[in-house]
Every structure is written in C-alpha cells, then in structure tokens.
C-alpha cells in the first residue's frame, strides 16, 4: 500500500537541541496511528514537520508516495493535512455555521455569501456527523456554549467536510470530562470509517490503545518501537512503556 504520509530518516535540531534523530514514520490511508512518549520525546516536533510548520534539518517527506521537497503550511493543507487543537479550534463568539465555513465560505454564483446553503449544510452535518441530537443546538448557536468535546467534534467535522485526508489530534482529551472524551474517541472512529487517516497523540495510554490501529513509541527523538494494538494487551503495552522509560528500548 502507498502510505498516506511517510517520513524517512528525519532529523530536527534547534541549535544544540536534537529533537528528532533519524525518524522513520508513516501513516496508511484509513489508519489511526497513536504517537506516544514522554514529555520532550519529540511528538509535537514530528507533527509540526508534517504540517509544514518546521522544515526538517534533514530527511525526506512523502505524500501518497510522492516526495515533497519544500513542505509549507499551505502546501500541507492543500495535501489534506488538518490539525485539530482543543483551544484554538473554534471562534467562540461566532455561530456554529460560521465556524464550520470560516475562511472557506460558500458563495452564490453572483459571489454573495450563500448563508442559506451554509446553514442547511451545517444542519445536515450536525445530524449526520456530529451526532448533535440536543434541540438546544442549531446552526445559529454560538459555540461558546458548547462543551470542549463538542467544540472538537465541530473542528473534526469541519476538517472532514473540507476533505482532509490526514487529521492530527495533539492531546485532544486534555481537560475533557469523561463523557466528552468518549465522544471524541467516537469521532476518531468516524474519521477512520470515512477512510481518512489520523495521528492521535495523548498522554493517556488507555485512550491511545483504544483508538489506535498501530502505536509508535518515541523516546528522546528516536522511534523506540512500534506495534499493532491488536498484537498486545493493554497490560503488555504499559509494561513496554515502562521499559522504554528505563532503557530507551522496547525489547
Ligand atoms: N521551537 C523550539 N526551539 C527549541 N527547542 C524546541 C523547540 N520545539 C521543541 N523543542 C525541544 O525539542 C524537544 C522535543 O519537544 P516536543 O515538543 O516535540 O516534545 P513532545 O513529545 O511533544 O513533548 P510533550 O509531551 O511535553 O508535548 C524538547 O526538548 C523541546 O524542548
Ligand atoms: Mg507535545
């Protein structure tokens, strides 16, 4: 299978700090990859290279098997990469429909904002994809009344609507209540069912184990190991994580 994205031998240093050391990493279409590792392991740096925010110091980046030489943020977006951050995901004082279409508004043939269409589409997405059944929520609801999990759900649905191919969630469950976390994990399942790829970063190994098809362990800028979630039990995973912390290796 051609990987959705692949990094080959990627290194990143910030002055003296070596954040990534010869990292090989890939995500397949329709695959959820969990990225785990201690604070400072390099997870966010890896993500920022994939989103075009940081250029790698060395190494190669491939999208759909094609080498991309100068990945920028707009280029990554064009290639279908969307990142959902909990806090920056939405504009709080705006309505739901404005948030969905922000920056990519639908217009009529004459070039006017097609408000009716955007409200209709929002209503459809709410029912079909976001699972909003509450009668309190409408396309005209102001999103600051939404819970953290609902906001992230909106951000994910928006990414899907605009045909993201790879959705990156960096610490999405941080600060979420239990029921919100459940909702978020269901969104991840939906993204996968839609055939899209996900990179899921979370300090809570239970969440990662639950949603990920494959788990990649980073340790001090290196890939310490990886395995399919169905190859090992949660207890085995926890044991391996402890071993990595002590020895830097999974074996
Ligand atoms: N812009 C930067 N300038 C200098 N050093 C950086 C920069 N970004 C990251 N680093 C360093 O690179 C290393 C990896 O950081 P990174 O944020 O990728 O870790 P992480 O795995 O996401 O950690 P956490 O779990 O705490 O979010 C750290 O030592 C960090 O201090
Ligand atoms: Mg991080």
Please state the atom number of ligand 1 nearest to the C-alpha of residue 218.
21
Taking only the tens place, the pLDDT of each residue in 11-36 is: 999 999 999 999 999 999 999 999 99
In sequence order, the 6+-apart residues with CB closer than 8 A to the CB of 77 are 52
Q: Is 14 in the pocket of ligand 1 (CB under 6 A)?
A: yes
Please state the atom number of ligand 1 nearest to the C-alpha of residue 12.
12
% of the chain at pLDDT higher than 90? 51
Q: How far apart are CA 193 and CA 202, in angstroms?
A: 21
pLDDT band at 89; cut points 50, 70, 90? low
Q: Is 40 in the pocket of ligand 1 (CB under 6 A)?
A: yes
Which residue's C-alpha comes closest to atom 6 of ligand 1?
Answer: 14
pLDDT at position 153:
76
Q: Could you say which ligand is closest to the alpha carbon of residue 17?
A: 1
- Ligand 1 pocket: which of 16, 23, 34, 42 to mutate (most atoms within 8 A of CB): 42
Which residue's C-alpha comes closest to atom 11 of ligand 1?
Answer: 19
Distance 19 CA to ligand 1 centre (A): 6
In sequence order, the 6+-apart residues with CB closer than 8 A to the CB of 70 are 55
Q: Could you say which ligand is closest to the alpha carbon of residue 20?
A: 1
- Check whether 178 has a pLDDT greater than 90: no
Taking only the tens place, the pLDDT of each residue in 43-77 is: 999 999 999 999 999 999 999 999 999 999 999 98
Q: Is 106 in the pocket of ligand 1 (CB under 6 A)?
A: no
Taking only the tens place, the pLDDT of each residue in 179-216 is: 778 878 888 888 888 889 999 998 889 999 999 999 99
Distance 131 CA to ligand 2 centre (A): 29
pLDDT band at 86; cut points 50, 70, 90? low
Q: Could you say which ligand is closest to the alpha carbon of residue 35?
A: 1
Q: Is 45 in the pocket of ligand 1 (CB under 6 A)?
A: yes
Which residue's C-alpha comes closest to atom 5 of ligand 1?
Answer: 14
At 102, phi and psi to the nearest 5? Answer: -55, 125
pLDDT at position 181:
83
Average pLDDT along the chain? 88
The structural domains of the chain, ordered by start, are: 5-88+152-247 (3.40.50.300), 91-145 (no CATH)
Q: Could you say which ligand is closest to the alpha carbon of residue 204?
A: 1
Q: Is 22 in the pocket of ligand 1 (CB under 6 A)?
A: no
Asked if residues 241 and 36 have their Cβ atoms less than 8 Å apart, the reply is: yes
Q: Can you read off the two tokens belonging to residue 9? A: 């031998």
Return the closest-CA partner of residue 213 out of 194, 227, 196, 233: 227
SS (H, E, C) the chain: CCCCEEEEEEEEEECCEEEEEEEEEEECCCCEEEEECCCCCCHHHHHHHHCCCCCCCEEEEEECCEECCCCCHHHHHHCCEEEECCCCCCCCCCEHHHHHHCCCCCECCCCCECHHHHHHHHHHHHHHHHCCCCCCCCCCCEHHHCCHHHHHHHHHHHHHHCCCCEEEEECCCCCCCHHHHHHHHHHHHHHHHCCCEEEEECCCHHHHHHHCCEEEEEECCEEEEEEEHHHCCHHHHHHHHHHHHHHCCCC
Distance 114 CA to ligand 2 centre (A): 39
Across residues 157-172, what is the average pLDDT? Answer: 83
Distance 224 CA to ligand 2 centre (A): 17
Taking only the tens place, the pLDDT of each residue in 101-111 is: 887 889 999 98
Measured at the alpha carbon of residue 208, what is the angle toward residues 221 and 171, in degrees to the nearest 5? 65
> What is the number of other CB atoms lying within 10 angstroms of the CB of residue 14?
10
């Amino acid at each position: 299978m051609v990987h959705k994205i692949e990094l080959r031998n990627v290194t990143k240093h910030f002055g003296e700090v070596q954040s990534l050391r010869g990292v090989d990493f890939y995500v397949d279409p329709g695959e959820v990859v969990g990225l785990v590792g201690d604070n400072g392991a390099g997870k966010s740096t890896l993500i920022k290279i994939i989103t075009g925010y940081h250029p790698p110091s060395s190494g190669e980046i491939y999208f759909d098997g094609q080498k991309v030489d100068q990945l920028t943020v707009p280029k990554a977006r064009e290639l279908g990469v969307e990142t959902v951050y909990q806090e920056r995901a939405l504009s709080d004082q705006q309505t739901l429909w404005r948030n969905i279409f922000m920056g990519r508004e639908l217009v009529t043939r004459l070039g006017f904002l097609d408000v009716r269409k955007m409200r209709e589409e929002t209503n459809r997405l709410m029912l079909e994809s976001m699972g909003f059944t509450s009668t309190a929520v409408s396309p005209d609801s102001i999103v600051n009344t939404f819970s953290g999990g609902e906001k992230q759900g909106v951000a994910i649905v928006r990414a899907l609507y605009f045909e993201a191919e790879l959705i990156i969630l960096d610490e999405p469950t941080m600060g979420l209540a239990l029921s919100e976390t459940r909702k978020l994990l269901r969104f991840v399942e939906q993204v996968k069912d839609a055939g899209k790829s996900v990179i899921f970063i979370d300090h809570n190994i239970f969440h990662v184990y639950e949603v990920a098809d494959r788990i990649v362990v980073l340790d001090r800028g290196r890939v310490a190991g990886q395995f399919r979630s169905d190859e090992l039990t949660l207890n085995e995973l926890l044991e391996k994580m402890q071993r990595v912390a002590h020895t830097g290796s999974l074996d």
